[in-house]
Copies of this chain bind each other. A is one copy, B any other.
């Protein structure tokens, strides 16, 4: 299919004129290919569709709507202003958001941004192909939304005892662009042996103390936080994260201060400011958090600078386990097509055919540190 035909099909699928669409192609709308399947990605809210919406351009095009962004709470007590009556308190897991669709006889895993990730697709197919296929037969117009977590993925590496190296936890279902009542998700997970995120409690919206004690427990268990939902999604969900993860994000990010670090810093600090106010930290508590925050900012960044001075490469490392050679080559092709700057090496070929790969994403911090060390100049005023 040539580009004109693709845009024509996209135009019909979205109900938007060719001329209106075509000017966005290559910019806000990206045409992609996964194997033989052409698809389009909306890279921002556009023409009435959400950012991250994917249009699968097979014989019968399918629109997979973007998952809505979730409002963050600054203060826990804000929940009572927003919700209607009951609030489902779910664990927010630290991974990456993936929509799963069954389309033309196969399963596709779509990232938050709207791309079919060949790695995630391969791992999900291997783990849950039958379950998802059967679920699709009973719920043909439902898209599953969940979190991929664990240590074997190219996005967020975080060890969960309840996940293997790679696992998938459903947290919502969508019909077209609408989030569905939570019982649909629970039914599907139950019937088809899919994992779902933990429901920690169902509380009254005024039970702030109850919610705080749940979050205090998550702090101690070093968990990310909660998503708060109306059981029927009559109002949009809310999210709230622990002090622990806010500081840990900074620590992770500041290993590469000119990449993730710069972006994470201010947002996480704003969260801590709100927490310090709501929890009314005394001087000792402020000292305790301040020390952790300060170390999370400085230590990883100084360590990386030391490493660079010793000639090491500054990159983020991921361990990936591909079910087959074909999955690996599909992923490499994908990574190149989205302009990722990376190197990789195969570290193991297992008897079952799996290929273990170390992937290194190159960081701008590498280049900036190199220049600093060479010239002695600061990269900023």
Q: Which residues does A use to contact B, with CB under 8 Å?
A: 69, 71-75, 77-79, 81-82, 257, 262, 265-267, 269-274, 276-277, 281, 286-287, 289-295, 297-299, 301-302, 305-306, 309, 372-373, 375-381
Contacts and interface: CB of A to CB of B under 8 A. Distances in A.
Contacts of A78: 375-377
A203 to B, nearest CB: 16
Nearest to A266: B262
Contacts of A381: 69, 72, 267
Given A69-B381, A72-B381, A377-B73, A297 B301 contact: no
A90 B295 CA distance: 32
Q: What is the total number of copies of this protein in its complex?
A: 2
A298 B272 contact: yes
Contact of A291 (B272, B294, B372): B294
Contact of A380 (B72, B77, B81): B72
A286 B299 contact: yes
A306 to B, nearest CB: 6
Q: Secondary structure at chain A's binding surface: helix, strand, loop or mixed?
A: helix
Q: Which of A74, A292, A376, A377 is most buried by chain B, counting CB atoms within 10 A of its CB? A: A376
5 contacts: A73-B378, A266-B266, A276-B298, A289-B298, A290-B291
A184 B306 CA distance: 43
Contacts of A69: 381
A379 B270 contact: yes
B274 A74 contact: no
| Interchain residue pairs A-B with the least CB separation, the first 4 | A78-B376, A290-B294, A294-B294, A72-B378
A78 B302 CA distance: 18
Given A302-B277, A306-B277, A372-B75, A271 B378 contact: yes
Given A78-B376, A257-B270, A265-B265, 9 more contacts: A75-B376, A78-B377, A257-B266, A262-B266, A266-B380, A271-B378, A274-B305, A277-B302, A290-B294
Nearest to A263: B266
A377 B74 contact: yes
A85 to B, nearest CB: 17
A273 B375 CA distance: 16
B299 A376 contact: no
Contacts of A380: 72, 266-267, 270
Contacts of A287: 291, 295
A378 to B, nearest CB: 4
A305 to B, nearest CB: 5
Contacts of A257: 266, 269-270, 273
B298 A293 contact: yes
A363 to B, nearest CB: 15
A267 B266 CA distance: 12
A69 B381 CA distance: 9
B379 A74 contact: yes
Given A266-B265, A378-B271, A372 B306 contact: no
A294 B302 contact: no
A152 B266 CA distance: 31
